């Protein structure tokens, strides 16, 4: 990261101060992760996918670009499936990613994306990429994380977001990998422990418009 904003206080930061500094950190995160997302797209476009060895090299390039995790199913003659987990800035008003060159919104969110890259192989030169946010972390949650969990730097925010995403993936696994059951949150939301943050619980609610969950708050 090119810049790190830090909350300077003794004990938990005051609410107004935490909100102001968290907003600064979120702006930086949105720009950084938008840039990483572009790097991932470029790595896929430029990759040779002839065989399993080349496919693993492509996966490694995407990891180095900043993906949270990857899952490769290699195949012969250019056939493969690669699943990429990644976080990126999100503009709630436009309901879209914050890309390099975009105006960063005043209260950005962070999208936890799942991207599926599937190559048909067999000389067809056809690679399909599908990406969707599965969890959207609100600006409110990040502000509360600063107040309640001692999150003080942009690096801490990335770690907190990753922990929340890991908690959501754990919930999906508990649902047997059934995405619809995962998304079918009750009105009060799913309450999921966030490890390794002792005692932290995130509230995951159904998004009003998207097939996704909102990480609404943490306590």
In this prediction, residue 165 carries a pLDDT of 92
Do 164 and 178 touch, CB atoms closer than 8 A? Answer: no
List of residues 6+ apart from 186 with CB closer than 8 A: none
Please indicate, yes or no, if residue 194 is contained in any of the structural domains: yes
Please indicate, yes or no, if residue 91 is contained in any of the structural domains: yes
Do 30 and 89 touch, CB atoms closer than 8 A? Answer: yes
Domain count, the chain: 1
- The Cα 155–Cα 25 span in angstroms is 9
In this prediction, residue 194 carries a pLDDT of 86
Please indicate, yes or no, if residue 50 is contained in any of the structural domains: yes
Please indicate, yes or no, if residue 54 is contained in any of the structural domains: yes
In this prediction, residue 8 carries a pLDDT of 44
Determine how many CB atoms are found less than 10 A away from the CB of residue 156: 18
Please indicate, yes or no, if residue 5 is contained in any of the structural domains: no
Q: Identify the three-state secondary structure at position 56.
A: helix
Which pair of structure tokens corresponds to residue 174?
């508990």
Q: Identify the three-state secondary structure at position 27.
A: helix
pLDDT digits (tens, 9 = 90+) for 106-128: 778 889 999 998 887 766 667 78
Please indicate, yes or no, if residue 114 is contained in any of the structural domains: yes
Question: Band of the pLDDT at 2, cuts 50, 70, 90?
Answer: very low
pLDDT above 70 (res 18): no
Q: What are phi and psi of 12, to 5 degrees?
A: -60, 135
- Model-level pTM? 0.80
pLDDT digits (tens, 9 = 90+) for 172-218: 999 998 999 999 999 999 999 888 766 788 999 999 889 999 998 88
Asked which of 103-107, 147-151, 159-163, 204-208 is least confident by mean pLDDT, the reply is 147-151
> Helix 154-174 to helix 15-46 angle, to the nearest 10 degrees?
70
Cβ density class 136-154: b for 16+ within 10 Å, e for less: bbbbbbbbbbbbbbebbbb
Please indicate, yes or no, if residue 9 is contained in any of the structural domains: no
Cβ density class 100-128: b for 16+ within 10 Å, e for less: eeeeebebbbbbbbbbebbbebeeeeebe
In this prediction, residue 53 carries a pLDDT of 85
- The Cα 219–Cα 205 span in angstroms is 15
Please indicate, yes or no, if residue 8 is contained in any of the structural domains: no
Helices in the chain by DSSP H: which ranges? 15-46, 52-65, 139-148, 154-174, 179-183
pLDDT digits (tens, 9 = 90+) for 40-90: 777 767 665 567 888 888 888 888 888 888 999 988 877 889 899 988 888
Domain hosting 201: range is 15-218
């Amino acid at each position: 990261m090119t810049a790190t904003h830090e909350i300077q206080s003794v004990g938990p930061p005051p609410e107004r101060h935490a909100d102001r500094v968290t907003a600064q950190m979120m702006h930086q995160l949105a720009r950084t992760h938008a840039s990483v997302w572009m790097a991932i797209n470029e790595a896929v476009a430029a990759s040779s996918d002839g065989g399993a060895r080349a496919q693993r090299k492509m996966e490694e390039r995407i990891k180095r670009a900043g993906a949270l995790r990857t899952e490769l199913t290699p195949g012969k003659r250019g056939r493969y499936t690669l699943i990429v987990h990644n976080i990126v800035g999100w503009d709630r008003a436009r309901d879209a990613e914050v890309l390099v060159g975009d105006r960063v919104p005043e209260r950005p969110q962070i999208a936890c994306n799942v991207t599926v890259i599937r190559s048909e192989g067999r000389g067809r030169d056809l690679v399909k990429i599908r990406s969707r946010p599965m969890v959207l972390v609100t600006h409110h949650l990040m502000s509360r994380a600063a107040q309640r969990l001692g999150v003080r730097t942009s690096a801490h925010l990335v770690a907190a977001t990753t922990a929340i995403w890991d908690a959501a993936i754990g919930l999906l696994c508990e649902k047997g990998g059934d995405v619809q059951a995962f998304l079918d949150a009750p009105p009060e939301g799913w309450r999921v422990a966030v490890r390794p943050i002792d005692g932290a619980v995130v509230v995951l609610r159904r998004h009003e418009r998207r097939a996704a969950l909102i990480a609404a708050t943490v306590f």
